[in-house]
Amino acid sequence: MGCTSNRYKVLHIFMLAANCVAFLLGVLYLIWNPDNTFTNIIGIYLMIIFLLNIIQAFLDPYYNKKGYWYLAISMLFMLLIPIFNLIFSFLPDYKNSRSIISVVAILTLFILGGIIAALNLFRKKSDIDLLLIQIAEKHEEEPKKQRTIRIVSMVILSLFLTIGLFISFSLLFNTNIWRTEVFISAFSLFYAYLFLSAGALLIKLMHRHKKVYIKLLCSILTLCIFIICLLPAASVPALVKDAEISYLSAFESYHDNPIFSEIDSFRQNKFSIPEYFFGTLSRNYTVRRNIPFYAGVEGVDRDLILYFDVYTSSEDADWLPGGNSVLIRIHGGEWKYGDKGFLNNAQMNKYFASQGYVVFDIQYGLTTINNKHIPSGEDQSRYGEFTTDDMVRHLGKFTQYLAENHDEFNANIDSVFVSGSSAGGNLALALGLAHSSGEYQNLFDQNIKIRGIIPFYPANGLAQDMGLAVSDSGFISPEVLADKPSPPCLVFQGQRDSLVKAATTMKLKDQYEARDNNECAIIFMPFGGHSCDVYFPGYYNQTFLYYMERFMFFYR
């Protein structure tokens, strides 16, 4: 391994060239941001080089430190890249949404991979020198400090692999721990490389261990974790196939239109591998934050002040797909937590604002009923003994504000879409279906026209289970309000969601069909748990955006 004989020189030259090409392709992708078939060819190539670099570092002689350092850095970067991508995408005022830290980290892995290959290719030690080093190390006693560091590192890496086993188990079987699901399936492609690096480093640190079966067991576990963590990404073709069938069955006459290929801002790929790693680039938008729309003066609403943020295109929206249509976004959080902005996946607001939609990210009152985590100070102002009825009423206050002030935002209230996730998805359905039913004219302004509802894993029927008081069954389980004139509905649902189960969401579609309304489609995300859309550049979100933007364009 690592000798400069001709048979290894070829491999070192190949790895040096392969990393140089990967670096250049990464830079070219960042400059041009292509969205075509070639994009995923680049992505597959980058993934292969990630893998080959880990193998190269693992096979590097155990007495050479550079292989250890690469594996440790690879672990660290595969952990930090999605974290920084997540944070930067959530920042409402960060225009780019792409993390420069993540970009540098990815390109650095290719640079380091090339450096290892170059050092192996051009090092000056002869084969005899290297053989003598190996013999000497086998017979020399390991320094106490070095041994301590090695053992501590092995313990930490073993704990890492234990986490990898839990993640793998969670991907294969439903653990019913929905709070952990947020951090599993959407990020599993990063985990695949993270745990492969961790396992390779652990085995490499076992070079003094004489029990081969322990190394073999560790190798098998590492490979199993790696393969299982690849499954969600590998399921994308099946996701796309099923999404196409579901979408066409509900909106057949609105899908295959040649205009889609002519709209520059529309996604042409349902999933882009480079975008998954580098993050989604936000384009031209502006945001105004913390605009009040309702101040309560009596009853349960006393001292309640609700705000919204508005995102608009910095270009002329009349020439963009949205055409100043409205998208109202409602945050989730069990009706007890959450907020607009950072906590409501702000990049979704940026994305549709750049397409010409006027996006309103709004607040509603949060309940203190059975809520053990109420903040102190000014943050308490949104909390009260609110029921789901009160929350829907707060949304109604926003519709009244919007009808009165739409000219200020150049918002087309004849074309309004409502979207939300989890508890927000439940409230979005309650707003959209109750408004269209005509039975709640005292709550909602009838001058706005709701053209579509896009709920993400709507928590229908769960409010009472979480301790909330409910008086109107149409708000806790809004599917009962679905009727023939109900707006078309496109739903995001994780197949492995242990909080909002797939069967719960299917009741919505069944109710639509029972009312002779076929315009409801559910896109199921394989291996997807609760909030699996949290990673905006993820395979689930990218695929859903492809259909969501087309859905909104034709129904606007």
Q: What is the dihedral of CA 115, 116, 119, 120, to 10 degrees?
A: -150
**Number of folded domains in the chain?**
2
Q: Does residue 142 share a domain with residue 77?
A: yes
Q: Does residue 311 share a domain with residue 231?
A: no
Name residues whose C-beta falls within 8 Å of residue 365's C-beta, 6 or more positions apart in sequence: 301, 304, 306, 382, 383, 384, 386, 390, 391, 394
Q: Does residue 294 share a domain with residue 384?
A: yes
Q: Does residue 302 share a domain with residue 230?
A: no
Q: Phi first, then psi: what are they for 122, rounded to 5°?
A: -110, 5
pLDDT score, position 243: 96
Q: Does residue 163 share a domain with residue 32?
A: yes
Please state, in angstroms and rounded to a whole number, the distance separating the CA atoms of residues 540 and 236: 8
Q: Does residue 345 share a domain with residue 214?
A: no
Residue 274 counted as domain residue: no
Residue 137 counted as domain residue: yes
Q: For residue 311, what are the β-bridge partners?
A: 287, 359
DSSP-derived pairing of the beta strands 358-362 and 305-312: antiparallel
Please state, in angstroms and rounded to a whole number, the distance separating the CA atoms of residues 334 and 4: 61
Residue 315's domain is classified under what CATH number? 3.40.50.1820
List of the chain residues with pLDDT < 50: 1-4
DSSP-derived pairing of the beta strands 286-295 and 305-312: antiparallel
Cβ(291)–Cβ(363) below 8 Å? no
Q: Does residue 43 share a domain with residue 189?
A: yes
> What pLDDT digit, counting tens, does each position of 57-107 carry?
999 987 789 999 999 999 999 999 999 999 999 999 999 999 999 999 999
Other CB atoms within a 10 A radius of the CB of residue 470 amount to 15
Please state, in angstroms and rounded to a whole number, the distance separating the CA atoms of residues 135 and 130: 9
Residue 64 counted as domain residue: yes
Of 502, 519, 536, the last residue of a domain is: 519
Helix (H) or strand (E) holding 362: strand 358-362
Please state, in angstroms and rounded to a whole number, the distance separating the CA atoms of residues 306 and 498: 31
The DSSP letter of residue 281 is P
Given strand 520-525, what is the order of strands in its sheet?
A: 286-295, 305-312, 358-362, 325-330, 412-421, 450-456, 489-494, 520-525
Q: Does residue 296 share a domain with residue 232?
A: no
Other CB atoms within a 10 A radius of the CB of residue 108 amount to 13
Residue 383 counted as domain residue: yes
The pTM assigned to this predicted structure is 0.94
Q: Does residue 325 share a domain with residue 196?
A: no
Q: For residue 520, what are the β-bridge partners?
A: 489
Cβ(381)–Cβ(461) below 8 Å? no
Other CB atoms within a 10 A radius of the CB of residue 445 amount to 17
Can you read off the two tokens belonging to residue 17? 């060239």
Q: Does residue 317 share a domain with residue 232?
A: no
Residue 353 counted as domain residue: yes
Residue 97 counted as domain residue: yes
Residue 253 counted as domain residue: no
Domain that holds residue 327: 282-519
Residue 530 counted as domain residue: no
Q: What is the DSSP string of 66-79?
A: HHHHHHHHHHHHHH
Cβ(538)–Cβ(239) below 8 Å? no
Query: Is the torsion defined by CA of 316, 317, 319, 324 positive or negative?
Result: negative
H-type alpha helices, 329-422? 346-354, 388-405
pLDDT score, position 1: 45
Can you read off the two tokens belonging to residue 456? 């993400």
Q: Does residue 290 share a domain with residue 224?
A: no
Residue 480 CB burial class (10 angstroms; 0-12, 13-18, ≥19): middle
Please state, in angstroms and rounded to a whole number, the distance separating the CA atoms of residues 409 and 411: 5
Query: Is the torsion defined by CA of 460, 271, 551, 410 positive or negative?
Result: positive
End-to-end CA distance of the chain, in Å?
62
Q: Does residue 468 share a domain with residue 324?
A: yes
Q: For residue 141, what are the β-bridge partners?
A: none
pLDDT score, position 373: 77
